[in-house]
Structures are given as C-alpha cells and as structure tokens.
C-alpha cells in the first residue's frame, strides 16, 4: 500500500525541529525503518513528518566521564562500528550487531528504536542491563530518566507530545566486567523471539554484580532482578547460573504468537539467560 499524502520538512537544527513538533500533531522521522512501513499500512497517518536526519547536533557518540552519550540519530551501524563503544561499552556493540540486516542497520537509529518501543527490539534488553538513561527534550523543557521508567508498555513510552529523545546515556563498563547479548531471532525479520543481555563481575571467587535485561518475552522489556539477586554472592558456577537463569520468566505473562507459544518462549528465555550469563562469566577479567 501507499502512505497517505503528508508534508515533509527537514530542519537542520534541533530548535526548529522542536518548534515544528511542538503541538504534538507532526511526527518525527528518523531512519523510517518502523514508521514508513506503518504509514504504508495506514496504521500511522501523520499529516506532517519532521525528518531529524539533517540535524548534525543529534548524531554523535562521545565520552563524558564515566558515561557515553549517544545522539538519537546515531544509526545501528554507527553503534556497531564505534571504536569508543567497542572499548567502553561492548555490550551495546554486540547488541547492535544483532539488529535486522545491513540495510536496517544503516538507516535505523538508536533514538527511533527506543522511541518505537517494539517489545521484540534488541536494544532495550542491553539498555536495561546497562541501567541506561535517556534525555528527552521539547520546545519547553528537558528531562532525564532511566530506560526502565521510559518503557511503559507495548509500543508505549514516557514520551509526551512534542517531545524528542535527544540522547541515550550508557555507562562505561567496568574493565573487569564480562557481558553478552544472546538472541533467538525470528527468521524473517530478525526481531527477537527472546533476547537476553547479561553483565557480570566476579571478585574473590564470588559474583559481585549481575545485570540481566530481557526482550521479546513479554509486552515490554524488563530487568530480571530475581535472576541477578539469585546469582550475586554465589561462586557463579554452572549450577549457580542454571539455578538463577531458571527464574527469568517467573510470574511473567509471556507473549504467544505463530512464531513461539508462551510456554516455548519461557523455555527459551531460561536457556538463553543461562547462555548469556555463561558467556558473560567467561569474559570477566
């Protein structure tokens, strides 16, 4: 199908984009990888599109002390190929590698992916495990929040009308830390049937720190605090990892579709949490 007619505007500075988006009627366009298909299906029918692609001030990856700030229009390819991120936040690089295909990674952006909040998207698992933050701006205000607060429900975020994601902030991972993203993909699209991001630190023969982010399993991505708590303080043996990973889907209302039943998704989540933790553990220094 063909999208309904719309007005296309491509401002070159953020202030102008925010002014255009101010009344909440126009829609932001980033890579168009999710929005354009929705428009073609007439599931989205914006009358005005504000293309963020020419705003240089939204495209950057830079270190700021113990954090790395990633501008909203940074593409998945730019994340995947960033030397700074590879050295300082390898979990995000590994996750970007898993997104779609080359074309999608060349066009799609981190801001667009996070704003779209697809429950099967890859970044949310890593961003939750990284305890990342997002900076939201509008013509009138700027605020910062955790991604855990940002993801409200399926395709629903804390974004207010007229607000944009300006940047995503991830921590510089501890050099002793091991991390891994493990995913069962839906073969046609590449989206996650289940995707698990894990971080782990070990010291004195004990797990001192564990973080687990989950995507694809439920209506929104989540942090598996119960798995983290079960693992921290243990020696992190294969049996400890297996026992903790088995908790990942406890009490979760799992998605069910033609690709995987809820029961099968829960099973996969347990197996892939075990796998992500085992790989993370093998990468700890």
For ligand FAD, the closer CB: 181 or 191: 191
Say whether residue 116 binds ligand FAD (CB under 6 A).
yes
CB of 251 to ligand FAD, least distance (A): 25
Contacting range for ligand FAD; rule: CB under 6 A; set: 120-128, 223-231, 238-246, 266-274? 120-128
CB of 91 to ligand FAD, least distance (A): 15
Q: Is 277 left (phi over 0), alpha (psi -120 to 50) or beta?
A: alpha
Say whether residue 35 binds ligand FAD (CB under 6 A).
yes
Residues 35 and 19: their CA atoms lie apart, in Å, by 21
Which of 11, 22, 32, 219 binds ligand FAD (CB under 6 A)? It is 32
For ligand FAD, the closer CB: 111 or 236: 111
For ligand FAD, the closer CB: 220 or 243: 220
Which of 18, 26, 31, 273 binds ligand FAD (CB under 6 A)? It is 31
**Whether 123 contacts 113, CB under 8 Å:** yes
Say whether residue 29 binds ligand FAD (CB under 6 A).
yes
- Is beta strand 192-203 parallel, antiparallel or unpaired with respect to 178-185? antiparallel
Which of 164, 212, 249, 276 binds ligand FAD (CB under 6 A)? It is 164
Question: CA separation (Å) from 138 to 146, 152, 155, 173, 206?
Answer: 18, 19, 20, 30, 45
- Is beta strand 48-51 parallel, antiparallel or unpaired with respect to 27-29? parallel
Say whether residue 197 binds ligand FAD (CB under 6 A).
no
Say whether residue 182 binds ligand FAD (CB under 6 A).
no
Q: Which residues bind ligand FAD (CB under 6 A)?
A: 27-35, 52, 72, 99-100, 104, 107-109, 111-113, 115-116, 118, 121-123, 159, 164-165, 189-191
């Amino acid at each position: 199908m063909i999208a309904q007619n719309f007005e296309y505007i491509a401002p070159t500075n953020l202030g102008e984009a925010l002014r255009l988006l101010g009344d909440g009627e126009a829609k932001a366009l980033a890579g168009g990888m999710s929005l354009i298909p929705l428009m073609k299906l007439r599931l989205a029918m914006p009358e005005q599109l504000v293309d963020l692609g020419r705003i240089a001030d939204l495209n950057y990856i830079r270190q700021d002390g113990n954090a790395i700030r990633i501008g909203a229009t940074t593409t998945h390819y730019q994340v995947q190929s960033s030397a700074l991120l590879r050295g300082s936040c390898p979990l995000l690089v590994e996750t970007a590698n898993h997104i779609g295909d080359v074309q999608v990674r060349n066009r799609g952006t981190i801001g667009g992916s996070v704003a779209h909040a697809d429950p099967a998207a890859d970044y949310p698992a890593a961003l939750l495990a990284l305890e990342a933050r997002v900076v939201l701006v509008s013509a009138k205000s700027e605020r910062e929040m955790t991604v855990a607060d940002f993801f409200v429900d399926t395709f629903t975020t804390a974004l207010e009308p007229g607000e944009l994601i300006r940047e995503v902030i991830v921590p510089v991972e501890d050099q002793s830390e091991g991390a891994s993203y493990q995913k069962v993909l839906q073969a046609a699209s590449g989206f996650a049937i289940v995707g698990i991001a894990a971080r782990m630190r070990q010291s004195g023969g004990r797990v001192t720190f564990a973080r687990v982010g989950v995507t694809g399993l439920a209506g929104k991505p989540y942090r598996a605090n119960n798995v983290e708590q079960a693992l921290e303080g243990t020696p992190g043996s294969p049996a400890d990892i297996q026992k903790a990973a088995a908790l990942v889907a406890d009490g979760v209302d799992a998605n069910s579709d033609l690709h995987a039943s809820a029961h099968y998704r829960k099973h996969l989540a347990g197996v892939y949490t075990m796998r992500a933790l085992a790989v993370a553990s093998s990468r700890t220094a």
